[in-house]
Amino acid sequence: MIDSILDKMTIEEQVSLLSGADFWTTVPVERLDVPKIKVTDGPNGARGAGSLVGGVKATCFPVAIALGATWNPDLVERMGVALAQQAKSKGAAVLLAPTVNIHRSGLNGRNFECYSEDPMLTAELAVAYIKGVQSQGIAATIKHFAGNESEIERQTMSSDIDERTLREIYFPPFEQAVRRAGVMAVMSSYNRLNGTYTSEHAWLLTKVLREEWGFDGIVMSDWFGSHSTAETINAGLDLEMPGPARDRGEKLVAAVREGRVEAATVRAAARRILLLLERVGAFEKKPDLTEQAVDLPEDRALIRRLGAEGAVLLKNDGVLPLAKTSLDRIAVIGPNAASARVMGGGSAQIAAHYTVSPLEGIRAALSNANSVSHAVGCRHNRLIEVAKGKITVEYFKGRGCRGTPLHVETVDKGEFFWFELPSGELDPANFSARMTMQFVPEESGDHVFGMTNAGLARLFVDGRLTVDGHDGWTRGENYFGTANDEQRGTVALDAGKAHAVTVEYDPPVATGEGINLTAIRFGVEKPLGEADIEDAVETALNADVALLFVGRDGEWDTEGLDLPDMRLPGRQEELIERVAAINANTVVVLQTGGPVEMPWLGKVRAVLQIWYPGQEMGNAVADVLFGDVEPGGRLPQTFPKALADNSAMTGDPAVYPGKDGHVRYAEGVFVGYRHHDTRAVEPLFAFGFGLGYTRFNWGEPRLSASEMGAEGVTISVDLTNIGDRAGSELVQLYVRSPKSRVERPDKELRAFAKLSLPPGETGTAEMRILPRDLAYFDIEAGAFRAEPGDYQLIVAANAADIRFVIDLPSPLDYLLPPSHQATSLIA
């Protein structure tokens, strides 16, 4: 059928398929009954085509690093199935997820959106996620291919990575997604790879992805991430997003006529687009693009379970789990206590059906909610707290908010990210909006108003210009680098008195270069100070236990910028120290999208890392704190003692964050625990570390063969839960290689198994490795090579907790060309 359609298409119609119609849909060819389909952002939800911060409500699942911490592919596959149903509820046929870039620096703004520092763990979870999504007829899109491990100058930066490092660290999740999961779509990254934009990188998109790995799906650009006509199509980029066409359309038709692009190249790309439509069932049933809010009880239960399964108990001297019946006074303190920080920022954001804060979850878990007291202590927000309440928005034709508004609506939050305007009569490049609200402060005193805008805007308080986001506007870090840095103004306000707040907004003038977005965010807050920390200390003073909810939020952990350091922002470290000094039972609950330094670690009794675990966050954390379930998570990323201990932090700006448009991955394959183990750099918490509420006995490992053969070796380990509670244990299998012609890491993760057992029960963890699991990538041979020699299998609870070391001879020289699954034996 597909070839029949192609035969009937003009070159113009074939070309039309190779660009989006708009921000979220493909181009139909109505003459031939070729429908359009919708794509939607993931990876922790399915947002639909609405605003990045609004639109139809959606189910909010845990972020990727929280999934990485579960080490549970089966559960992640179940989430993929649920996400596919959410995509269908938004009329979408393609989910733009998962993200599988590697945790390189610890400072990447999208660290939270990626699974792990380890390619094997990342690959296992990505394969499970994709299988779940695609089992329901929804296409998954693995991203960002490749070398996007930082947000700094990401649209132009060249990630300079040698081929061995690419093959061993950064490619495996993509490769396994193609070979094992049959992923239907791949998204190229914004950055350049070794000097060439990935969207026009023929070696990357054609030789490696298609010819070596056998990928037969579509390659799409990241949004506004393609920069040429002939170069992209010839390299293997099928779909330019978003639409309408910028470098395709008539430009591509002309390139064909001029001989710069072969007509067969266009046909092949168009064929892959049609094949995608066929795979998602678009020809069988015309897609219904209607969006609905579907909130299912089974999704709620899954999110709650995932939240606990990914919660990592980093320290516990016996204070956890808390006994509900013996606690008369519980202090719940910190900037993340009463606020539900359920997701990171950027394109992963969705409008969740609801959110449960830790304070709400804890109170709901107790029969006497009055035993819980609360104090915020300090703030950690990067931006002024967003305005909330009844906000009237008037939309006008043309700039300057002149005349009669064309459309009027009421919203409850002072943040707008317009993918689509509320009326088709409004021109995205030539409209304006006026937002008005009444702000009634609870306390008298100075209040700070803040605003950041992609476009031009002014904020007035009681008719006086307070924040100027118009005159002298320059690009900053917000909204993916399209908005200015937040501008602020201070006004003395009286408690209980209504103050008129007005914001007038004009869209940016399109430059035709890079991303152009229309967005604005404004807010107001009364600064917290010493009295607020003292109030938190007083709240904790006579409590049986002080629960400190600290960390970051989606303003820090966000697409578009990297973190400035690995410290807790604001006065949170001081808050922890002062509370711990007066309450001996202080428990710190962390919410970050990656590692954080902990100078206060020795002063608290327990530390629980819960990441951003989705809309059921408060319930999930209460489940863990009170022992209704165990903390099932293990770290998917090494937590260094200090930022300088990270392998990318050499002090050379060319290595991080980049210099003169290039960032050099000088550490090569020595990323994460590979660096810490090989270079003898002791971490704060090792890769794979995590405590539980029970104890396990490990039996001696058993091997299915005494040496490596072409069929591989299976390793079995019996585990017995010798505690009095149900719990889980993670068995990690590393390979240590003999001396080689290239330097190799001390050990590399090659398999793992996670068992959940009731008290007294025994189970068997089984793991299998193949010759490639012994291999490194041999540049000269252009293949993975496992040299003959005596290898060691390391059975461990985490990278620093080795339980058994087993010798495994491998008598043959294995050569595994990347274009073949078969193993070649070299005499």
Cβ partners under 8 Å of residue 85, min gap 6: 136, 294, 296
What pLDDT is attached to residue 822?
A: 47
pLDDT digit string, tens, across residues 471-519: 999 999 899 889 999 999 999 999 999 999 999 999 998 665 567 789 9
Average pLDDT of adjacent 10-residue blocks, the chain of 827 residues: 95 98 96 97 87 84 98 98 97 97 96 98 98 98 98 96 98 98 98 98 98 98 96 98 96 98 98 98 92 96 98 98 92 97 92 96 91 96 94 96 95 90 90 97 95 97 97 91 94 95 92 75 95 97 96 95 96 98 98 98 98 98 97 98 97 97 98 98 98 98 96 97 97 95 96 98 98 96 95 98 97 83 44
What pLDDT is attached to residue 420?
A: 82
- In which residue are the tokens 């629980």 written? 608
- In which residue are the tokens 């670690």 written? 601
Q: What pTM was estimated for this model as a whole?
A: 0.95
CB atoms within 10 A of CB 593: 32
- In which residue are the tokens 């002024």 written? 384
What pLDDT is attached to residue 739?
A: 87
Report how far Cα 298 is from the mean position of its chain's Cα atoms.
23
What pLDDT is attached to residue 403?
A: 95
From 72, 82, 2, 87, select the one nearest 40 (Cα to Cα). 87
Angstrom distance (rounded) from CA 711 to CA 550: 49
The half-sphere exposure of 433 on its side-chain side, counting CA atoms within 13 A, is: 30
What pLDDT is attached to residue 348?
A: 87
Q: Does the bond joining 146 to the residue before it have cis omega, within 30 degrees of 0?
A: yes
* Structure tokens that stand for 297 in this block: 């009880």
pLDDT digit string, tens, across residues 572-612: 999 999 999 999 999 999 999 999 999 999 999 999 999 99
Q: What type of residue sits at position 240? A: E
**E strand or H helix that includes residue 445:** strand 445-454
What pLDDT is attached to residue 826?
A: 44
Domains assigned to the chain: 2-279 (3.20.20.300), 299-382+529-638 (3.40.50.1700), 388-525 (2.60.120.260), 694-826 (2.60.40.10)
Residue 222 annotated among the catalytic residues of the structure:
yes
The half-sphere exposure of 62 on its side-chain side, counting CA atoms within 13 A, is: 36
Angstrom distance (rounded) from CA 818 to CA 775: 12
Strands lying side by side in the sheet with 606-609: 312-316, 606-609, 586-591, 545-551, 330-333, 372-375
What would the DSSP string read from start to end of 479-533? HHHTSPPPEEEEEEE-TT--EEEEEEEEPPPP-SSS----EEEEEEEPPP-HHHH
The half-sphere exposure of 337 on its side-chain side, counting CA atoms within 13 A, is: 25
Q: Are 588 and 576 in contact (CB under 8 A)?
A: yes
CA distances from 380 to 388, 434, 479, 555 (A): 18, 29, 19, 10
- Of the residues 160, 222, 238, 532, only one is catalytic, namely 222
Angstrom distance (rounded) from CA 750 to CA 772: 10
